[in-house]
Amino acid sequence: MDSDRGQDSTGPRTLLNHWWQVTLYVSPRGLTTSMIPHPRGAFDMEFDFIDHQLVIRTSEGSVRTVALEPKPVAIFYSETMAALTDLGIEARIQSQPNEVDPAIPFAEDYEHASYDGVSARLFWRQLLLADRAMGEFRSHFVGKVSPVHFFWGSMDLACTRFSGRTAPPHPGGAPNCGDWVMVEGYSHELSSCGFWPGGGEEGAFYAYAYPEPAGFSEFPVAPADASYSVEGGEFRLPYETVRRTDDPADTLRRFLHSTYEAAAERGSGTARRSRTSPTDGAMSRPAAADLAARRVRLSCTATAVPNASPRLCGDASGLKAQAICLRTAQTAKLSVNRTGVHGVRHSCGDGAEMVQLDRRRFLGAAYLGGAAAAFASSALPAMAKPGRRFVRFAE
């Protein structure tokens, strides 16, 4: 539904930054507006892709439905407005679509009259899977981050992380959408990921940064099937590529984390942050030394896993570690934020990394349910025996 959601006889709904008040959300049956206030209480509207109907519910217990079936847009618009009126909801809905050209007013559009229930349900099933994966990815960041929400104008499910720094004014240019809309949406530096029905035979996952930092497009991201679209200004990973892998969740996880790395590594002065202070104005991810500076203690125990490298488990402030593979995959330079520690980074995959500070000391940073933990060892932890403990030192 292309509408200025939440406008009723009491006036516009309170504006949230970046237009977050107008998005839809994935629900167990389709897409929902979430609760919208009106003078006598509240209501919501849900596209039900199981029973194929638009369901309008009020806090007074009343319900109206509009069938989702092949019919002209003008008829669907008329039926929806009649249902709202019948419920006593005096909504003022913007009467023409955004971000499409031509933008035929709803009441006059008898040209577009198709509805494919099978395709609509399949798309919703894709959104269910994408929403779950992106929600898990969202949990790793404690800075300003959007919900996982659906923008109906561009038809994409998105989640966006912000650095806290203002961005250059967006040039706009979206068809039938005021430039001021885009200026508000992109008012601050961001790294965004999402899923949309374009970009591949079955849709595609995407990731971009605004403003795009120098070297962003050349950053090595995972998996190998991901590529940078010059036309779109974003990394893309076809849905079918993810679906056909042995572990789709891990494939998508690596894409989301590595493309965020591209924005964080290439951003000007960017320090990566996840589960650390959101007030330093930088997109960053935790480093072991950050915890050392805070005198946080953590014990990690290496445990054997059949047919796999040793893994670390641990806890910090009640948080339990995810299984972390300590298989060294590559090396790269790392500058640890705030403390000035420099070393060689060993990326281990599955949310862990180690920093070799000198010939005898290794620091490790691990992601524990969205938080960070650190361990120290005089030997490469991947060579640890089951049961050996690594205790982080506070300096």
Are residues 247 and 385 both part of a single domain?
Answer: no
What mean pLDDT comes out for the span 160-185? 90
- Confidence band for 92, pLDDT divided at 50, 70 and 90: confident
For the stretch 8-14, contacts whose Cβ atoms lie closer than 8 Å and that sit 24 or more positions apart, written own/partner, are 8/36, 8/38, 8/39, 8/89, 8/90, 8/91, 8/92, 9/38, 9/39, 9/90, 9/92, 10/37, 10/38, 10/39, 13/37
- Average pLDDT score over residue span 225-242: 96
pLDDT of residue 330: 34
pLDDT tens per residue across span 287-307: 333 333 332 223 333 333 333
Q: Which domain holds residue 60?
A: 17-108
> Residue 363: what pLDDT?
52
CA distance 38 to 261: 42
- At 273, the pLDDT band (50, 70, 90 cuts) reads low
* Contact by Cβ (8 Å): 165, 143: no
Helix, strand or coil, per DSSP, at residue 239: helix
pLDDT in tens, 115-160: 999 999 999 999 999 999 999 999 999 899 999 999 988 899 999 9
Whether residue 212 contacts residue 228, with contact meaning beta carbons closer than 8 Å, is answered with: no
* pTM, to two decimals: 0.67
Report the domain count for the chain.
3
**Where is average pLDDT lowest: 245-259, 293-307, 375-389?**
293-307
Q: What is the pLDDT of residue 202?
A: 95
Decide which of 236, 266, 296 is a domain's last residue. 266
Residue 216 sits in the same domain as residue 145? yes
Q: What is the mean pLDDT of the chain?
A: 74
Residue 143 and residue 227 share a domain: yes
Q: Are residues 132 and 89 located together in one domain of the fold?
A: no
Indicate the residue among 51, 84, 108 that finishes a domain.
Answer: 108
76 and 146 fall within a common domain: no
Instruction: Give the model's confidence band at 268: pLDDT under 50 very low, under 70 low, under 90 confident, else very high.
Output: low
Q: Does residue 278 carry a pLDDT above 50?
A: no
| Residue 337 pLDDT greater than 80, yes or no | no
354 and 249 share a domain? Answer: no
Answer whether residue 384 is part of any domain: yes
